[in-house]
Chains A and B, each alone.
Chain A
Amino acid sequence: MQIVVGVADLKVSNKEEDVIVTHALGSCIGVAIFDPVARVGGLLHFMLPDSSLDPAKARDNPFMFADTGIPKLFRDCYALGAQKPRLKVKLAGGSQVLGGEEHFQIGRRNYAAVRKIFLKNNVLIDKEDVGGMRARTMFLEMASGRVWVKTVGQDNLEL
C-alpha cells in the first residue's frame, strides 16, 4: 500500500507491501530511516529547523520541526523493533532559491539542523540528495529498504 506523508508529518511501517512517499519537498527535508534486520522504517517530512520558533505548535505537531520530529521518527521505529546501530539514514530536500545568500536560507538551515542533531546523537547519514533548486518527491520501499528521489523532468535517483 502507498502511504502518503503530508507536510509536517511522519509515517512508520513494518509491512513489506508498503511504500512510504512524501511529495514535493521544497525547502523542507525528508528523513528516511530503515532497519534491514527488523524490516522497520519511517519517513519524516519536516518544515523548519527549530521548535523554539513556536513551542505551542511544536507540541501540537512535533513533525513541523527537525528538533522535535527527528527524535519522534527514531522512537516510533524503535517501538516497532528497530535498533539504532542497524538503521540506514537517508535525506532529501532542503532546496534554495537563487541568490538568497542572506535571507532565503531556510533549506540550508533545515539541513544544518539535521546535521547537528545527528552529530549529537552519533547518527551517520548514509546517503543524501540535498540543496540545489529542485522540488523532490521521496519514496521509501519497505520490501527492500530502498529510497528513491523523483524530480519532475528527470530520471529517478536511488539513494
Chain B
Amino acid sequence: MSYIPQILKSLKNLPPFPMVAQRALMLLSKPEVSIQEMVEVVKYDPAITANILRISNSAYFGLRREIHSLHQALMLLGTQELLKIIIASGATRLFAGATPGYFPERQGLWRHSVSVALMTDLLARELSLGDRAMAFTGGLLHDIGKLVLSLFVEKKFTEIMEVVLGQGVSFQEAEKRVLGVDHAELGGEMARLWDFPDRLRLVIMLHHLNKRQGFGDDLVQAVYLADLLVLMFGQDLSADGLAYTGYPEVMQHFHLRERDLQKVLLQFGSAWQEAQAFFGLMGNINGVQCSHR
C-alpha cells in the first residue's frame, strides 16, 4: 500500500519557511549583494542580529577584535559569511521539532544539518567551488524532507530496515520502496512550495545522486559527499546509520583520492569544534563532548 496520498496531504499543513531566512535565500542567487540589502533583511529581527554578533565573535571566525554592530560584522566577514549566519539562524525554528523516525534525540536533525553545512562549506573551499554561502545552505537544508517524512518513517521503520538489510539498498531507496516517496523527493516538493531558488531545490531533491541529473551540478555532488563524510565522522547517531550508497564517480569528478577524504575529515574535526556556536543556535546544546546524551 502506498502512503503517498497521506504524505502529500501532510504537506498542506506545512508551516511557512521562516521569513528572514527566505529573504536571505533570495540573495544567494544574486551575483552581487550590497550591504544595504543585507541590512534590510535582518533589521527587523533583533534575535537574528544578536545571533550574528555571537557567531561573528565565536572561535569559528577567530577574529582578533570584537564585533559590536551588524555593520562591522558585514565589513569584516563579508556578505557570503554573513548570509550563512543569517540563514542558519533564521532556519532554526524549522528544525525545532523532533524527528524520531531518524534521530532518537530531539536535536538530531539540526546537528546533522549543521554538520553537513560545515562539511559542504569545507569541501567547497578545498575544491574551489565558489558560491560558499550556497554550498553551506545546500548542506544545511538538504534533509528538510525528513521533517515531514519522519512521522511515516517512524511507523514503518522495521519494514524499511528489513528492505535495507534484506536487499542491500540505501535507507533512502528503502523509504521509496516502502512509503512510495523518499525524503529527498519530498524535500524537493517542500522547496517548491517554499519557493526556494531552483538550484537549491535541485540540491535537496538530488542529494542522494539516485538520479543521473544529480551529476550535472558540482554543488549536488559536494552536498552528497559532505553528507557521506559526516556519516563517516559519526557523532550524529542517526537510526539509518551509514546505509548510504557510495558513488566512486563523485571522487573521479572532483579528482579526489581516499587520502584527500581523510584530510578533509581531519580538518572537519577542528572546524566542527570551533563551530559549536552554530550548533548552539538551537539552544540547550552542550559543548563538543556531546555530554547531553
Contact = CB atoms under 8 A, between A and B. Distances in A.
Interface of A: 4, 6-8, 23-28, 47-48, 53-54, 57, 64, 93, 95-107, 109, 133-135, 137, 151-153
Interface stretch (B80-88, B188-196, B236-244): B236-244
Given A23-B290, A54-B266, A100-B246, A135 B261 contact: no
Contacts of A109: 258
Interface in B57-108: 104
Nearest to A60: B270
Interface string B99-122: 000001000000000000000000
B210 interface: no
B252 to A, nearest CB: 9
Given A24-B236, A26-B232, A28-B233, A104 B266 contact: no
B236 A135 contact: yes
Contacts of B231: 26, 97, 135
A47 B291 contact: no
7 residue pairs, one from A and one from B, having the closest CB atoms: A100-B246, A26-B234, A27-B232, A133-B242, A104-B246, A24-B237, A97-B246
Contacts of A97: 228, 231-232, 242-246
A8 B269 contact: yes
Contacts of A25: 234
A137 B288 CA distance: 16
Contacts, number: 126
Interface in B228-286: 228, 231-239, 241-248, 251, 256-259, 261-263, 265-266, 269, 272
Given A53-B262, A64-B269, 19 more contacts: A6-B290, A24-B235, A27-B234, A48-B262, A97-B242, A98-B243, A98-B246, A99-B246, A99-B247, A103-B246, A103-B256, A103-B257, A106-B261, A133-B242, A135-B234, A135-B238, A135-B242, A152-B238, A153-B239
Contact of B290 (A4, A96, A105, A107): A4
Which size class do B's interface residues fall under?
35 or more
Nearest to B158: A153
B237 A53 contact: no
B161 interface: yes
B168 interface: yes
A48 B241 contact: no
Given A4-B290, A4-B291, A54-B266, A106 B239 contact: no
Given A134-B242, A151-B241, A106 B234 contact: no
